[in-house]
Chain A
Amino acid sequence: MALVQELDLGTPASRNEKTVTLTIDGRNVTVATGTSILRAASGNGTQIPKLCATDSLEAFGSCRMCLVEIEGRAGTPASCTTPVADGMVVHTQTDRLARIRRGVMELYISDHPLDCLTCGANGDCELQDMAGAVGLRDVRYGYAGDNHLADTKDTSNPYFTYDPAKCIVCSRCVRACDEVQGTLALTIEGRGFGSRVSASAHESFLESECVSCGACVQACPTATLIEKSVLDIGQPEHSVVTTCAYCGVGCSFKAEMRGETVVRMVPYKDGKANRGHSCVKGRFAWGYTTHRERILKPMLREKITDPWREVSWDEAIGRVSSEFHRIQKTFGTRAIGAITSSRCTNEETFLVQKLVRAGFGNNNVDTCARVCHSPTGYGLKTTLGTSAGTQDFDSVEQADVIVVMGANPTDGHPVFASRMKRRLRQGARLIVIDPRRIDLVHTPHIDADYHLQLRPGTNVAMLTALAHVIVTEGLVDEAFVRARCDLQAFQDWAAFVSEPRNSPEAMEATTGVPAESVRGAARLYGTGGNAAFFYGLGITEHSQGSTAVIALANLAMATGNIGKPGAGVNPLRGQNNVQGSCDMGSFPHELSGYRHISDSTTRTMFENLWGTELDSEPGLRISNMLDASVSGRFKGLYVQGEDIAQSDPDTQHVLNGLKAMECVVVQDLFLCETAHYAHVFLPGSTFLEKDGTFTNAERRIQRVRKVMQPRNGMADWEITLAIAKAMGFAMDYTHPGEIMDEIARLTPTFAGVSFEKLERLGSVQWPCNEKAPEGTPVMHMNGFVRGLGNFVITEYIPTDERTGPRFPLLLTTGRILSQYNVGAQTRRTHNTAWHQEDRLEIHPHDAEQRGIRDGDWVKLASRSGATSLRAKVTDRVAPGVVYTTFHHPETQANVVTTDYEDWATGCPEYKVTAVQISPSNGPSDWQRHYEAESAATLKIATSVAAAE
């Protein structure tokens, strides 16, 4: 294996369809109009020296290395900034050019340390390469003159260093921050010889606005910005392209390796989801894979109060098998079940549900998507016919109006947010519908046209009011509706939304948003060109989550904003493979491809291939399993890669359910919160240690490739195989590719997917079958999957969770950039430098009434429970609303969330909880109790631990 080399053509591709032909160094070359001479030459095999140009950034023209001569034109224009012209005759190598290039290089090196042999970039330095290319042999200026060689290095960022002494002021970092990331945290300060890169207003990188996405480090041609891991380890020797295991954007990375050691993760330019960009998590936060707290050996215990005992894989798997058999014999076939993971691969997820359906003989399988995007599946299937987002990410480049609702892309889906921000900077209009003033509302060069700051829990009222304006002001795309949708359903819906009680004016009291803003936003959505919805858990995690998803689809259909690039209804999926885990049949009622278990044709197909009869009754959902456990009917659970004790609502209910089980099997990287209640712990493997596929939020199936042997000894899919085998239901696969072949055989939307095709194309978006052999970027182009688009009436029914005298405030929850989900991984990386604890955001008015100052400890109490954390007083939230994140187990934010859930899918209502806030002295009784209990259940037998 070798390093995956990506050719840098110097400037971005021209999108012009016309071509021109020119002559470069005597050879004819035909390229798209608007292409730079530099890129045209590069594509023609002529490498013109360059330093400030790179094909991820617009041409800048500052380094003056890429100068060329053009016949009939005076001077020596820069080839990066000069576009090609028909008949142009270009010379890239002349004596004069050689003299100038060498002269420029001599100037560069006159202010650059001569420490190449001990430099971190040695072997990966464009300055070094160019000095060689131009034949610099001498620096006649000497080193006695003015220079920056003694400038001090900034090592504040945990992942990279900034060494101004090595800076050649090419501005690639500044431009990457501007153009690619869109944070505009970097600038050049000073002028002339004093010009240097500055983070914010001459702050350290850590203290600055820098979000540590790594784009600047990637763009830097020298060792000025360089990963600390490269400084520590040295240059990588081979690389493997794989897919990030954090959020649902699904960024493609090159894992750059030295043997089995990851040197760095570098975003892959050919990755169609991320187009060469990354965020602080995927780029840098992979240290958890080798964290000392990772468990690498299987463990057992009789009671959850016993210390853990390390055992062999055979003993552990044997225990699982014998316990599950015993439980089924004693309590019935349906007394056990499993939870699949949205963090694991499609193949692993498919195996777990297969184990349950075919091995356990019941359908008690559920997944964490239950608690996040299950309403997306339900809502989009009901209206459009498919349980998935309608667009690819590239589509945003053609959006004219972007509506972000109940999502915080700059924190939750940062790489997609950067692509969205780029489009917004180009002039697309923005509507944000969110109770909280997320960063996107006002960020450099972007201001939302409308921020509809609605009261938590009133999404459906808001969306129906928007629909009211669309219908009553004649903004419906009648041709589209007539051609593509169920007319009767449309008319019923139109009559419903037109009712005066659904007008923005009538809904104002409910949503708290001025009617005029709602009308303005609706008009913009209806008339602004291609309009696209991007939404997140702020839509789904409500008692009317499914209704809200339906309302989005209704609006998109009514305005014809679906089935074309630039439009659509796009869920921003939270986890790397939440789409895939749903696709793979993780829900108790559905087989892969969203086909109901009661459908005998589909079931028979599975039964024939699997050689066993399947239960035709849907199984238990997670919350039902926990209920059944408390009432003594459910006794054994296999949890693969999900921490329900921290992430599921109403923690005390979850814990009671877990405690009442007789065999809880947890397969995870760490002793997570759920592991406190487990009897068997099976160490899991990270995404770096296995093969398979993930499916991102745009339905893109991408390969995960093994870059090192599983440190725990077995990849997750192999563990599931071992359990199946021990339980007497053998599954024979030698490689995950074979599992995908089986998925393809059984699932029409995956019929054309194979590892071979993924190797060839890089990735495909399902549906991928005979009709679409290379996949489907934008769905519903020529008709809805269900036939005619279905409008469904969206009556607003307020949640039963109401504020009152005891709990007068509404709590809503969200995420922060540097931490991921329950934080199991990111808390075990240097990302803690940015977010050491969860804080409660509270409006200054509410804070003042309660005597709370910024940084004070406060008690957050609901009818479910209470926890304590520190307050952050901010007007990001409206009066009456408080907000927190749930990344840290100490906070236990879900102790306060309630058991209300979406009417259709049971998705918990995380986003609305009536709470009271009061000053507090520190952690709550519950937190203290929990901490003590955690300590007790976390023990690993000392003899074994000491032996290590």
Chain B
Amino acid sequence: MTQRIFLSRDMAAVAVGADRVAIAIARAAADLGHDIELVRTGSRGLYWLEPLVEVETPNGRVAYGPVAPGDVPELFAAGFLDGAAHRLAHGTTESIPWLKRQTRLTFARCGVVDPVSLADYHAHGGGKGLARALTLTPLEIIEEVARSGLRGRGGAGFPTGIKWRTAAEANAAQKYVVCNADEGDSGTFADRMLMEGDPFLLIEGMTIAGLAIGATKGVIYCRSEYPFAIATMNAALAAARDGGLLGTRIAGSDHAFDIGLRVGAGSYVCGEETALLESLEGKRGQVRAKPPLPAHHGLFGQPTVVNNVLTFAAAAFVLTEGSEAYRSLGYQRSRGTMPIQIAGNVRYPGLFEGPFGLSLGELIDDIGGGTATGRPVRAVQAGGPLGAYFPRALFDTPFDYEAFAARDGLIGHGGLVVFDDTVDMAKQARFAMEFCALESCGKCTPCRIGSVRGVEVIDRIVKGENRSMNAQLLRELCETLKFGSLCALGGFTPYPVMSAFTHFPEDFGLVREPAEV
């Protein structure tokens, strides 16, 4: 009987040697005469265990990791094909507490299936959301999504149902569904993991959106730094076309839908939806003023839904399992689950999908296991490079759009980057301004000039030049950026700057103001 072994083909796993492990396993199996089938899956998202090798046993898949090529002969010798014990063994994968604790709705198949096998997708419950959507009217699909409480996972948290309804109500001969896969936030990787691990889910979600708004064309805009995701997505798109999931008669219905994939050129701001549309149109990646909203006047001036990868994936789940299954999870106005990406100086980095509402402290100390260096956690940047730095004092903040906003922060795309006590927060604040200056499209004045001046002002503060005047100037500049900028790049840069400045004034050479009594 053929023994099935699973090993991730995910970029992060390959980066730590997964391909070399695969070769070693194939060689050893051949040498030893074992009949094995090595299935290359996506990642489970337990990155500190990659390369993670799983062996199919009657009790389920048994996990071994992190596996180095040199460990392979030893694993064979130990009888890992039967799920035998070993110093690298973790029992069945499902029983690993880090995974067991999760509620994997969006990432249920990721790391489990062969990502480019349509048969595997269907075998693991894929395609049911689309099948159901085909039995519904566009309005019913939109109602289902709206009822689920799903909000845009790109960062803005806009209710997906309302966005879809707006585009659906727009009158046009051609509409578009655009997937924002320009995942540029530092410390985030969920979009990439999904595209590499379960690409058909994204295709299914986009197709459902197409049915809902009356679009026949979809486009995935993927950043150029994701060659594996691009290759996997393209293979999946081809397989979906071959399998009749895309094309003129999707899944045998009378509906037409197809998806193309476009690759960006290395600009962060092209992840902003209007700059992304400009870029898709072949223009300079410059932000457009809103209104008009993309739902009215989007790609090539046509009504367009632009959603993040995770939003489409979650929508497919909602259609599969029903809005209640999704809505029942979550915290206050943040419904369902969020794939949180824990990164930086952390002991257990990886993707943790769970309902909203866990506190930041639980996520960092408990799930993340504290810092990798073993030193105390000093700050966590939540929500990418434009997110605020949270000091330990704010670790009670529940992971929720509104709760983070109330503390001058944002959850963004769900990225958490952990820093230990060696971090210089003035440098981090300067970096935020520098990042904004580097990535600014140059259209609006606050961002174009303000970011450059921001770096200069922070430098002067740190050098001790006219500190109180410059500190005031920095506060005013941040207000101008926050309220004056055209898009979130300039508008959110004050989050990391002001949070660093407020919570860690000593790093700027300033005296911490006494806490209010």
Binary CB contact string for chain B from 287 to 307 against chain A (1 if under 8 A, 0 otherwise)? 001110000000000000000
B418-460 residues with Cβ-Cβ distance < 8 A to A are: 437-453, 456-457
Closest to A82 in B: B291
Most buried by A among B437, B450, B484, B486: B484
Partner-binding segment picked from A98-106, A406-414, A605-613: A98-106
Chain A residues, Cβ within 8 Å of B284: 187-188, 191
Distance A110 CA – B445 CA, assembled complex (angstroms): 11
- B442 in contact with A108 (CB, 8 Å): no
Assess whether B483 is interfacial by the CB under 8 Å rule.
yes
Asked if A64 is an interface residue, CB under 8 A from chain B, the answer is yes
Contact (Cβ within 8 A) A193 B444: no
Q: Which residues of A contact B453 (CB under 8 A)?
A: 107, 110, 141, 145
CB contacts (< 8 Å) of B451 on chain A: these are 192-193
Instruction: Contact check, A107 vs B449: say whether CB atoms are below 8 A apart.
Output: yes
Cβ of B480 under 8 Å from chain A: yes
Given A99-B476, A100-B479, A169-B442: A192 in contact with B469 (beta carbons within 8 A): no
**B interface residue count range (under 10 / 10 to 19 / 20 to 34 / 35 or more):** 35 or more
18 contacts between A and B (CB under 8 A): A64-B444, A64-B446, A82-B291, A99-B476, A99-B480, A104-B445, A107-B453, A108-B445, A140-B473, A141-B456, A145-B453, A145-B456, A168-B445, A191-B442, A192-B438, A192-B439, A192-B448, A193-B449
Report chain B residues within 8 Å CB of A194.
442
> Is B485 engaged at the interface, CB distance under 8 Å to the other chain?
yes
Complex-state Cα separation, A168 to B449, whole angstroms: 10
Query: Per-residue CB proximity of A179-193 to B under 8 Å, as 1/0?
Result: 000000001101111
Binds B, one of A54-62, A496-504, A716-724: A54-62
The residues in A between 147 and 206 inclusive whose CB is less than 8 angstroms from any CB of B are: 168-169, 171, 187-188, 190-195
A295 located at the interface, meaning its Cβ lies under 8 Å from any Cβ of chain B in the complex: no
Report if B477 contacts A (CB, 8 A): yes
B residues in contact (CB < 8 Å) with A: 267, 284, 286, 289-291, 437-453, 456-457, 469, 473, 476-477, 479-480, 483-486
Selected from B448, B457, B483, the residue in CB contact (under 8 A) with A193 is B448
A67: CB under 8 A from chain B? yes
Say yes or no: A59 contacts B289, CB within 8 Å: yes
A81 and B442 in contact, given A103-B476, A107-B453 (Cβ under 8 angstroms): no
**A103 and B479 in contact, given A63-B445, A169-B448, A187-B284 (Cβ under 8 angstroms):** yes
The answer to whether A195 and B452 touch across the interface, beta carbons within 8 angstroms, is no
Q: In the complex the two chains form, what is the Cα distance from A341 to B477 in whole Å? A: 64
Q: Is A232 an interface residue (CB 8 A)?
A: no
Contact of A122 with B by CB under 8 A? no
A847 within 8 A of B: no
* Residue A627 CB within 8 A of the other chain: no
B439: A residues at CB distance < 8 A: 192
The CA-CA distance from A452 to B410 in the complex, in Å, is 60
What sequence of 0s and 1s flags, for each residue 100-129 of chain A, a beta carbon within 8 Å of any chain B beta carbon? Answer: 100110011011000000000000000000
Q: Which residues of B contact A192 (CB under 8 A)?
A: 437-442, 447-448, 451-452
Q: Which residues of A contact B479 (CB under 8 A)?
A: 99-100, 103
Residue of B437, B450, B457, B477 ringed by the most chain A CB atoms within 10 A:
B450
- Are the C-beta atoms of A64 and B442 separated by less than 8 Å? no
Query: Is the CB of A78 closer than 8 A to any CB of chain B?
Result: yes
Quick one: which of B289, B442, B446, B469 contacts A195, CB cutoff 8 A?
B442
Instruction: Assess whether A75 is interfacial by the CB under 8 Å rule.
Output: yes
A187 to B449, CA, bound (A): 19
Q: Is B452's CB under 8 angstroms from A76's CB?
A: no
Given A80-B289, A82-B291, 16 other A-B contacts at CB below 8 A? A59-B289, A62-B289, A63-B444, A76-B484, A100-B479, A100-B484, A103-B480, A103-B484, A104-B446, A107-B480, A108-B449, A141-B457, A144-B456, A192-B451, A193-B448, A195-B448
Chain A residue nearest in CB terms to B288: A61
**How many residues does chain A have at the interface if contact means C-beta atoms less than 8 Å apart?**
39
Q: Provide the residues of chain A in CB contact with B443, threshold 8 Å.
A: 62, 171, 195
A99 / chain B contacts, CB cutoff of 8 Å: 476, 479-480
A111 touches B449 (CB 8 A): yes
- Name the B residues within 8 Å of A108 (CB-CB): 445, 449
Contact A191 B440 (CB under 8 A): yes
How many Å from the CB of A74 to the closest CB on chain B? 10
A221 smallest CB distance to B (angstroms): 13
Assess whether B440 is in contact with A193, with CB atoms less than 8 Å apart. Answer: yes
> B469–A140 contact, CB under 8 A?
yes
Determine the main DSSP class of B at the interface with A: helix
A948 within 8 A of B: no
B487 to chain A, nearest CB (A): 10
In the complex where A100-B484, A108-B445 touch, is A193 in contact with B437 (Cβ < 8 A)?
Answer: yes
Smallest CB gap from A195: residue in B: B442
| Residue A361 at the chain B interface, CB threshold 8 Å | no
The reply on A307 being an interface residue by CB < 8 A is: no
Take A81-B291, A111-B449 as given contacts and tell me if A76 and B483 are in contact as well, using a CB distance cutoff of 8 Å: yes
Least CB distance, B281 to chain A, in whole angstroms: 11
Residue of A at shortest CB range from B457? A141
B445 with A107: CB separation less than 8 A: yes
Q: How far is the CA of A72 from the CA of B477 in the complex (A)?
A: 25
**Contact call B473/A146, Cβ cutoff below 8 A:** no
Interfacial chain A residues near B444, Cβ < 8 Å:
61-64
Most B CB within 10 A of own CB, among A60, A78, A140, A144: A140
User: Given A64, A75, A83, A188, which contacts B291 in the complex, CB threshold below 8 Å?
Assistant: A83
Lowest 5 CB-CB distances: which A-B pairs, in order?
Answer: A61-B289, A195-B442, A103-B480, A192-B440, A81-B289
Q: How far, in whole Å, are A943 and B204 apart by their CA atoms in the complex?
A: 94
* Residue in chain B with minimal CB distance to A187: B284
Min C-beta distance of A822 to chain B, whole Å: 43
Q: Encode contact with B along A802-815: 1 for CB under 8 Å, 0 otherwise.
A: 00000000000000
Interface contact A64-B469, CB-CB below 8 Å: no
Q: Which residues of B contact A63 (CB under 8 A)?
A: 444-445
User: Could you say which residues of chain B place their CB within 8 Å of the CB of A111?
Assistant: 449
Nearest-neighbour CB distance to chain B for A552, whole angstroms, equals 32
CA distance A99 to B452 in the complex (A): 20
If A61-B289, A103-B477 touch, whether A188 touches B445 (CB-CB below 8 Å) is no
Among B445, B447, B469, B483, contact of A75 (Cβ-Cβ < 8 Å): B483
Cβ of A96 under 8 Å from chain B: yes
Q: What CA separation (Å) do A393 and B298 show in the bound complex?
A: 31
Task: State the Cβ distance, B447 to closest chain A Cβ, in Å.
Answer: 8
Q: How far is the CB of A68 from chain B (nearest CB, A)?
A: 11
Closest Cβ–Cβ distance, residue A677 to chain B (whole Å) = 58
Q: Name the A residues within 8 Å of B473 (CB-CB).
A: 140-141
Q: Which residues of B have CB within 8 Å of A100?
A: 479-480, 483-484
Q: Would B442 and A193 count as touching, CB distance under 8 A?
A: yes
Shortest Cβ distance from B486 into A: residue: A61
Selected from B442, B449, B457, B485, the residue in CB contact (under 8 A) with A190 is B442
Closest residue of chain A to B283 (Cβ to Cβ) is A187
Is B289 a contact partner of A107 (Cβ separation < 8 A)? no
CB-CB under 8 A from B486, the residues of chain A are 61-62, 64, 78
Look across to chain B and name the residue whose beta carbon is closest to the beta carbon of A78.
B289
- For B286, what are the chain A residues with a Cβ–Cβ distance below 8 Å? 188
Measured CB to CB, the nearest residue on chain B to A171 is: B443
- Residue of B289, B447, B457, B486 most packed against chain A (CB within 10 A): B289
Q: How far is the CA of A64 from the CA of B168 in the complex (A)?
A: 32
Contacts of B477 in A (CB 8 A): 103
Provide the bound-state CA to CA distance between A680 and B441, in Å: 66
A contact residues around B485 at 8 Å (CB):
64
Closest chain B residue to A145 by CB distance? Answer: B456
Q: Is the CB of B449 within 8 A of A110?
A: yes
Which A residues between 420 and 477 are near B, CB-CB below 8 angstroms? none
Once bound together, how far apart are the Cα atoms of A191 and B442, in whole Å?
5
Complex interface: chain A residues within 8 A of B449 (CB):
107-108, 110-111, 193
Determine whether the beta carbon of A146 is less than 8 Å from that of B456.
yes
* Complex CA distance for A75 and B290, rounded to whole angstroms: 13
Chain B residues in 8 Å Cβ range of A195: 442-443, 448
Closest CB-CB distance, A896 to chain B, in whole Å?
A: 46
Report whether A145 and B452 are in contact in the complex, using a CB–CB cutoff of 8 Å: yes
